[in-house]
Amino acid sequence: EAGVTQSPTHLIKTRGQQATLRCSPISGHTSVYWYQQALGLGLQFLLWYDEGEERNRGNFPPRFSGRQFPNYSSELNVNALELEDSALYLCASSLSGALTGELFFGEGSRLTVL
Amino acid sequence: AQKVTQAQTEISVVEKEDVTLDCVYETRDTTYYLFWYKQPPSGELVFLIRRNSFDEQNEISGRYSWNFQKSTSSFNFTITASQVVDSAVYFCALSVPPFSGGYNKLIFGAGTRLAVHP
């Protein structure tokens, strides 16, 4: 069974540009989570999607947005990129959004903003 | 507010040594879940264990063991007879389920980088 897949693996952008990151959850999982792992800041919760709806978001500005498609895959968009957006963006999926079960993480997309 | 503290930034041991990774959490909720994840160099986080707040039994899985103590708000992780393959960053995390009024997200500690040398 395929795990959580993310693309692209690496992405290089310049300040002010937009970045789009993609995530495919494990088959059967309806919840998708996005986390940012920036150097020195640890893992920060970004967004949670379940059944196509945004259920919760972390303390990030509105230029971080995303969506979940009918097939439960998800996209994270970061507009007006800033240097501090450089980070590893991790996507995770789970069977339900209740977090009684574990999250399954992908290998991440490393975004570098120059 | 919820918070997870992993005071050890980096730990270096020699193979076969035992090592304990500390985790202290803060929450006012009576119902919560605690997790440990391992992040090898490949980047993906690998789930190791989940413990709910009503289950204080310690758990052992092979060389791994976990000590959950509500009295000290700690959920420590011990690797016995460490191996080079254990080298990774280990994260402790806390979740407060939505039914207790919290947000449905994992709150991670800063992580502890474990280096096991041959």
Please state the φ and ψ torsions of residue B98, each to the nearest 5 degrees: -65, -30
A60 at interface of B, judged by CB pairs closer than 8 A: no
CA atoms within 13 A on the CB side of A103: 33
A103 at interface of B, judged by CB pairs closer than 8 A: yes
Measured between CB atoms, which of A33, A35, A99 is closest to B33? Answer: A99
Tokens, residue A23: 């995530």
DSSP string, A45-112: EEEEEETTEEEEE-S--TTEEEEE-TTS-EEEEE-S--GGG-EEEEEEEESSTT-SS--EE---EEEE
From chain A, the residues in CB contact with B109 under 8 A are: 42
A102 at interface of B, judged by CB pairs closer than 8 A: yes
Convert the pLDDT of each residue in A25-79 to its tens digit. Answer: 999 998 899 999 998 778 888 998 988 988 888 889 999 999 999 999 999 999 9
CA distance A14 to chain B (A): 24
CA–CA separation, A80 vs B6, rounded Å? 33
**Mean pLDDT taken over chain B:** 89
Interface probe for B, chosen from A99, A104, A105 (most Cβ of B below 10 Å), is: A99
pLDDT value of position A100: 62
pLDDT value of position B10: 96
Report CA Rg, chain A: 13
Convert the pLDDT of each residue in B5-62 to its tens digit. Answer: 999 999 999 999 999 999 999 998 888 889 999 998 877 888 899 888 888 888 888 9
pLDDT value of position B101: 46
Q: Is B16 exposed, middle or buried (0-12, 13-18, 19+ CB in 10 A)?
A: exposed
Q: How confident is the model at residue B104 (pLDDT cuts 50, 70, 90)?
A: low
From chain B, the residues in CB contact with A44 under 8 A are: 108
Tokens, residue A12: 């290089």
Residue with tokens 């930034």: B9
For residue A42, the chain B residue with the least C-alpha distance is B110
Interface probe for B, chosen from A21, A33, A43 (most Cβ of B below 10 Å), is: A43
Using an 8 Å Cβ cutoff, are A21 and A75 in contact?
A: yes
Give the mean model confidence (pLDDT) for residues A83-92.
Answer: 95
